[in-house]
Structure 1
Amino acid sequence: MTELVTQPKEPDLPNPVLGPLGRLARVAYRRRGRTLVAWAVALVAAVVLSMAFGGEFAADYSAPGSDSKAAQRLLQERFASQSGATVTVVVRADNGVAGAKSDVQALLAKLATAPHVAGVADPFAAPGGISADGRTAVADLRLDVVNPDDMPVEASQRLIDIAGEFGRDGLKVALGGQSIQRAEQGEIGSEGIGLAAAIIILLLMFGSVIAAGLPVLVAVAGLAVSSTLTGVLIRFVDAPDWSTSLATMMGIGIGIDYVLLMVTRFREWRAAGLDPEAATVATLDTAGRSVMVAGSTVVVSMLGLFAMGLSFMRGAALVTILGVVVVLAASVTLFPALLGYLGRHVDRLRLPLGRRATVTVAAGGHVEPGRGWLRWSALIQRHRFVSALLGVAILLALAAPFLGVRFGFPDAGNNREETTTRQAYDLVADGFGPGANGPLVLAVQLPRAGDTAALDKLAAALPGVDGVAAAMPAQVNQDGTTAVVTVLPRTGPQDARTEDLVERLRDMLPQTVAGTGAEVHVGGVTATAIDSTANIARRIPLLIGGVVLLSMLLLLVSFRSVAVAVKAAVMNLLSVAAAYGVVALVLQGGWAGRLVGIDTETPLPAFVPVLMFAVLFGLSMDYEVFLVSRMREVWTRTGDNRRAVTDGLASTARVITAAAAIMIAVFAAFIPSPDLVLKVIGVGMASAILLDATVVRLLLVPAVMHVLGRVNWWMPRWLARVLPELHVEGKAEEHLPAEHKELVAAG
Structure 2
Amino acid sequence: MKKFFNWYSKKITAHPKTFLVSGLTAAVLIIALGFLLGGKLSTKSLSIGSTPADEAAKIVKKHFGNSTSGAQAQIVLRSKTELTSQQNQAQLMQIQKKAAKVANVKTVLSPAVLRNYAQKNRVAYFTLIFKNKTITTKQTNQLKRLADKFRNQQLEVELSGISSKIEVSELPEIIGVAIAFIILTITFASFALAGLPIISAILGLVTGLGGIFYAAKFWNVESYDLALAAMISLAVGIDYALFLVARYREELTKQSKNAAIKQTLITTAPAVLFAATTIIVALLSMSALKIGFLGIMGAVSALSVALVVLLTLIIVPSLLLLLPISLAPKRATTKLRPAKFFAGIVSKRPLIVIIMVLLILFTAAIPVKELNLGLPNDGSKQPNTTERKAYDIKQKAYGAGSDAVLVAVTKNKDSQTAEKLADQVKKLDGVDSIGQPTLSTDQKYVMLSIIPKSAANSPRTQKIVQQVRKIQTEQLKKVMVTGTTAMNIDISAKLMAALPVFLTIIVLFSFGLLLLAFRSLLIPLVAVGGFIGSLLATLGLIVYTVQQGHFAGLLHLPGKTAILNFLPVLVVGILFGLAMDYEVFLVSRIHEEYFKTNNNRQAVNWGLQANGGPILAAALIMIAVFASFSFTDEIIIQMMGLSLAFGVFFDALLIRLLLVPACIRIFGKANWYLPKWLDQILPRLNIK
Shift of 1:710: 0.4
In the alignment, structure 1 residue 300 sits paired with structure 2 residue 285: no
Alignment partners' CA distance in 1, 2:302 and 2:252:
33
Unaligned runs of at least 5 residues, structure 1: 1-16, 348-355, 361-366, 730-747
Partner in structure 1 of residue 367 of structure 2 = 401
1: CA distance, partners of 2:373 / 2:317: 47
Q: For 1:511 and 1:502, locate their aligned partners in 2 and report how far apart those are by CA, in whole Å.
A: 20
The equivalent of 1:170 in structure 2 is 154
Q: Secondary structure at the match of 1:595?
A: coil
Structure of higher RCO (CA pairs closer than 8 Å, 6+ residues apart): 1
Partner of 1:10: none
After superposition, the C-alpha distances for 1:697-742 in whole angstroms (9 at most, x for unaligned) are 232112111111101111111221122222211xxxxxxxxxxxxx
Task: Report the counterpart of residue 470 of structure 2 in structure 1.
Answer: 507
Select the residue among 191, 195, 214 that pairs with 1:213. Answer: 195
Q: Does 1:671 align with 2:630?
A: yes
Residues 358, 685 of structure 1: alpha-carbon distance in 2 compared, 3 angstrom cutoff: same
Matches within 5 A, 1:208-357: 208-276=190-258, 278-342=259-323, 344=325, 346-347=327-328
Match of 1:86 among 72, 77, 81: 72
Aligned residue in 1 for 2:593:
634
Of the three residues 454, 478, 498, the one matched with 1:491 is 454
How far, CA to CA, are the matches of 1:666 and 1:387 in structure 2?
Answer: 28
SS at match of 1:487: strand
Change (3 A) 1:726 1:211: same
**Structure 1 residue identity aligned to 2:332:** V
Contact 1:391 1:695 in 2 (8 A): yes
Seq. identity, %: 28
2:431–2:451 Cα contact (<8 Å) kept: yes
CA distance in 2, matches of 1:682, 1:114: 37
Match of 1:432 in 2: 398
In the TM superposition, residue 319 of structure 1 has moved relative to its aligned partner by 1.9
Report the counterpart of residue 95 of structure 2 in structure 1. Answer: 107
Distance 2:344 2:89 in 1: 79
Deviation at 1:332, TM superposition (A): 1.7
Q: Separation in 2 of the partners of 1:273 and 1:384? A: 35
Q: How does 1:415-430 map to 2 (within 5 A)?
A: 415-430=381-396
1:48 aligned residue: 33
Deviation at 1:69, TM superposition (A): 2.2
Would the alpha carbon gap of residues 481 and 138 (structure 1) be closer, same or farther in structure 2, given more than 3 Å must change? farther
Q: CA RMSD in A?
A: 3.3
Q: Tell me: CA distance 1:372–1:313, structure 2 relative to 1, closer, same or farther (3 Å).
A: closer
Paired letter, 2:21: L
SS of aligned partner of 2:407: strand
State yes or no: 1:391 paired with 2:357: yes
* Paired amino acid for 1:19: K
Q: Cα distance, 1:640 vs. partner?
A: 2.2
Matched position secondary structure for 1:602: coil
Post-superposition shift, 1:616? 1.4
Say whether the 8 Å CA contact 1:25–1:332 is kept in structure 2. Answer: no
Partner of 1:717: 676
- The aligned counterpart of 2:482 is 523
Task: Map 1:550-565; keep pairs closer than 5 Å.
Answer: 550-565=509-524
Partner of 2:377: 411
Alignment of 1:448-467 (within 5 A): 458=421, 462=425, 466-467=429-430
Name which of 33, 45, 54 aligns with 1:69. Answer: 54
Mapped to 1, the partners of 2:370 and 2:424 lie a distance apart of: 36
Residue identity matched to 1:198: A
Distance 1:568 1:37 in 2: 38
SS in 2 for 1:320: helix
Pair 1:723–1:85, CA change in 2 (3 A): farther
* Structure-2 residue corresponding to 1:24: 8
1:590 deviates by: 5.7
Question: How many Å separate the matches in 2 of 1:128 and 1:44?
Answer: 60
1:603 aligns with 2:562: yes
Contact 2:2-2:270 at 8 Å conserved across structures:
no
The alignment status of 1:690 with 2:649, answered yes or no, reads yes
Given that 1:28 and 1:337 are in contact with CA atoms closer than 8 Å, whether structure 2 keeps it comes out as: yes
Report deviation, 1:589. 4.6
Q: Letter of the aligned partner of 1:205 in structure 2?
A: T
The separation in 2 between residues aligned to 1:186 and 1:709, in whole angstroms, is 48
Shift of 1:261: 0.3
Measured after TM superposition, the shift of residue 503 of structure 1 is: 1.6
Secondary structure in structure 1 of the residue aligned to 2:268: helix
Contact conserved, 1:35 with 1:333, CA < 8 A, in 2?
A: yes
TM-score for both structures, normalised by structure 1: 0.83
From the superposition, tell whether residues 640 and 430 of structure 1 become closer, same or farther in structure 2 (CA, over 3 Å): closer
Give SS of 1:727's match.
coil
Summarize the Cα distance change of 1:590–1:502 in structure 2 as closer, same or farther, 3 Å threshold.
closer
Q: 1:410 to 1:45 in 2, by over 3 A?
A: closer
**Aligned-partner Cα distance in 1 for 2:424–2:648:** 54
The Cα offsets for residues 303-357 of structure 1, whole Å up to 9 and x where unpaired, read as 332243322211211121111111111122222333343364655xxxxxxxx99
Match in the other structure for 1:204: 186
CA contact (8 A) 2:168 2:223 kept: no
Asked if the contact 2:629/2:638 (under 8 Å) is kept, the reply is yes
Please state whether the residue corresponding to 2:373 is helix, strand or coil.
coil
After TM superposition, the structure 1 stretch with the greater mean CA deviation from structure 2, 584-593 or 170-179, is: 584-593
Tell me by how many angstroms 1:262 deviates.
0.2
